């Protein structure tokens, strides 16, 4: 693999420039928190956000990996802390049309920015993408604010200082001084604890958070004033009337894949689901007959077992389309940004790269996803040029039947 200088997130290839912001709709643990990718206008002053939004996420990753935080967190910060996402931070939203919406759910031990390459590429093709950061204790860490929400709203309204409005989440001063963060760590299994009970409870909370995020976009589209307690970020009111709520899909990786599957059974506003290397373990058997929406599975070659593939096949019914494809030479981390940002040593330690070129693997993932989204969201786009991938036609693609 190349040296550290060549490790970076690729720019998106679609026709739209992509803007990015963070949204925390209220400061409580129950509120929506997500990174938003959206088509934007070109802005004169381009700022790119850090890929690791705050140092605490390095400590969270160390905890999740069960490494000593005192040495591992600084090492992770050294390896990843300088990376930036090739998007325009808080760029003006492009109001030219109505955009379909994707709610994206992250995997176990991840956080909202870990799928920036996929989310950025999809947004560049004319989508609004909200990458939720889950508060079910499955993220490596996340945060909310200790103040009651009414206090936060008063503080937001009262804050006029230019210095505070210049605040960015990746800056060393990670929040306005009046707001105190409370960090929620990754919850490890207790010895003797039944894992299925925990994961099933978490996947239901995750679905509720995805639906709550969709509720928020419904309010934004209808012109309701939404307070973003992360001061100085994009004014969401500009998106009024620009969200195509008839074309909403849910997407996720690993634990986020099972979240996407359960979401289409519980919230019929989601027209289809894209499950990237889905972890099927958290789902109860009784949900399989209830999946009446189309689902695309994009699997890696190494993660899936015969048992999980059989579970995916059980979703077939006369009322929906289920597609299962495998990307040859890919590993579980091939659909995350880690596959692009790790060199040879870290890749061997954590198996972040397969034999397929990381950029090529992610290209197949996004193109297959876009073809499926066009087919099942009635989009007037040219994504059907990649329909062959959904049939297993391609050098690195296998169709599972």
CA nearest neighbour of 341 among 49, 73, 68, 117? 117
Per-residue HEC secondary structure of 155-176 comes to: HHHHCCCHHHHCCCCCCCCCCC
Six token digits for residue 130: 């909200």
**In angstroms, rounded to a whole number, what is the distance separating the alpha carbons of residues 255 and 275?**
9
332 assigned to active site: yes
Residue 216 near residue 226, CB atoms below 8 Å: yes
The active-site residue out of 116, 138, 254, 347 is 254
What is the secondary structure of 225-278 as a DSSP string? ----SSTTS--GGGGTT-EEEEEEEEEEETHHHHHHHHHHHH-TT--EEEEES-
Contacts of 108 (CB under 8 A, 6+ apart): 64, 138, 254, 255, 279
Measured CA distances, 27 to 33, 123, 183, 253 (Å): 9, 26, 12, 26
DSSP assigned state of 189: P
CA nearest neighbour of 41 among 66, 8, 16, 68? 16
**In angstroms, rounded to a whole number, what is the distance separating the alpha carbons of residues 165 and 320?**
47
DSSP assigned state of 49: -
**In angstroms, rounded to a whole number, what is the distance separating the alpha carbons of residues 246 and 224?**
19
Six token digits for residue 223: 């012109």
The active-site residue out of 332, 337, 347, 377 is 332
Six token digits for residue 174: 């990670």
The active-site residue out of 26, 136, 267, 277 is 277
3-state secondary structure at position 89: strand
254 assigned to active site: yes
**In angstroms, rounded to a whole number, what is the distance separating the alpha carbons of residues 98 and 21?**
19
**In angstroms, rounded to a whole number, what is the distance separating the alpha carbons of residues 372 and 385?**
11
Six token digits for residue 185: 């760590």
194 assigned to active site: no
Catalytic sites, residue numbers: 254, 277, 332
């Amino acid at each position: 693999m190349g040296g550290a200088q060549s490790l970076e997130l690729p720019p998106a290839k679609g026709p739209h420039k992509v803007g990015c912001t963070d949204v925390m709709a209220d400061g409580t643990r129950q509120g929506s928190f997500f990174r938003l990718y959206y088509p934007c206008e070109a802005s004169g002053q381009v700022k790119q956000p850090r890929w690791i939004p705050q140092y605490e996420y390095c400590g969270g990753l160390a905890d999740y990996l069960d490494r000593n935080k005192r040495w591992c967190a600084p090492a992770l910060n050294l390896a990843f802390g300088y990376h930036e996402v090739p998007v325009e931070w808080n760029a003006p939203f492009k109001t030219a049309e109505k955009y379909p919406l994707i709610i994206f759910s992250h995997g176990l031990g991840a956080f909202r920015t870990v799928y920036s390459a996929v989310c950025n590429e999809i947004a560049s093709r004319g989508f609004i993408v909200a990458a939720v950061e889950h508060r079910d204790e499955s993220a490596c860490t996340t945060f909310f604010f200790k103040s009651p929400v009414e206090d936060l709203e008063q503080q937001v309204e009262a804050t006029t200082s230019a210095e505070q409005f210049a605040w960015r989440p990746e800056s060393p001063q990670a929040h306005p001084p009046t707001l105190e963060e409370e960090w929620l760590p990754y919850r490890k299994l207790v010895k003797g604890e039944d894992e299925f009970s925990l994961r099933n409870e978490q996947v239901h909370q995750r679905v509720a958070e995805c639906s709550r995020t969709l509720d928020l976009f419904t309010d934004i589209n209808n012109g309701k004033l939404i307070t973003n307690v992360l001061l100085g970020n994009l004014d969401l009111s500009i998106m009024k009337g620009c969200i195509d709520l008839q074309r909403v899909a849910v997407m996720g990786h690993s634990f986020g894949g099972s979240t996407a599957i359960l979401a289409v059974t519980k919230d019929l506003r989601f027209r289809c689901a894209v499950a990237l290397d889905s972890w099927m373990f958290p789902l109860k058997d009784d949900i399989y007959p209830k999946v009446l929406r189309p689902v695309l599975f994009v699997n890696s070659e190494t993660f899936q077992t015969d048992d999980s593939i059989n579970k995916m096949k059980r979703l077939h019914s006369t009322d929906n389309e289920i597609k299962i494809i495998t990307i040859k030479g890919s590993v579980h981390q091939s659909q995350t940004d880690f596959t692009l940002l790790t060199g040879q040593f870290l890749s061997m330690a954590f198996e972040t790269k397969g034999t397929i070129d990381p950029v090529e693997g992610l290209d197949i993932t996004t193109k297959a996803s876009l073809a499926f989204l066009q087919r099942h969201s009635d989009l007037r786009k040219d994504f059907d040029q990649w329909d062959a991938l959904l049939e297993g036609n391609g050098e690195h693609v296998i169709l599972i039947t």
